[in-house]
Amino acid sequence: MYRIVWEYDAEPGRLEDFEQVYGPSGKWVQFFRRSPDYLGTELFRSAASAERFITLDTWRTRAAYESFRKTHAEEYAQLDEWCRALMHHERTLGTVDDGK
């Protein structure tokens, strides 16, 4: 499996909106479900900071994720741009690829 770990600082007045968009039935999950190789997203909220979140996206393989990104690049970019209003910080913390 291939996993991508993201960190976000949501806009303080948009925490519920952020959780809805990035949560288990949010816009990103709906978008990624177009691929049979997408296995799910987990959303975690920091105990130390109410605005800090981590997501863990899981795909069957890195190649499957990269293929989806390439095939749906324009839609991905549009959704990503739309989501910028919900946060003031986003970064990839890293990936885990168990090679299976």
Tell me: the pLDDT tens digits for 12-31? 999 999 999 999 899 999 99
Burial level of 55, CB count in 10 A (0-12/13-18/19+)? buried
In the sheet that holds 87-97, the strands lie side by side as: 38-45, 52-59, 2-10, 87-97
How large a percentage of the chain has pLDDT more than 90? 95
User: From the CB of residue 96, how many other CB atoms can be counted at a distance below 10 Å?
Assistant: 11
pLDDT band for position 66 (cuts 50, 70, 90)? very high
- To the nearest whole number, what is the mean pLDDT of the chain? 95
In the chain, where are the structural domains located?
A: 2-97
Tell me: the pLDDT tens digits for 33-54? 999 999 999 999 999 999 999 9
Quote the pTM value: 0.92
Which fold is adopted by the domain 2-97? Alpha-Beta Plaits (3.30.70)
**Pairing between strand 52-59 and 38-45?**
antiparallel
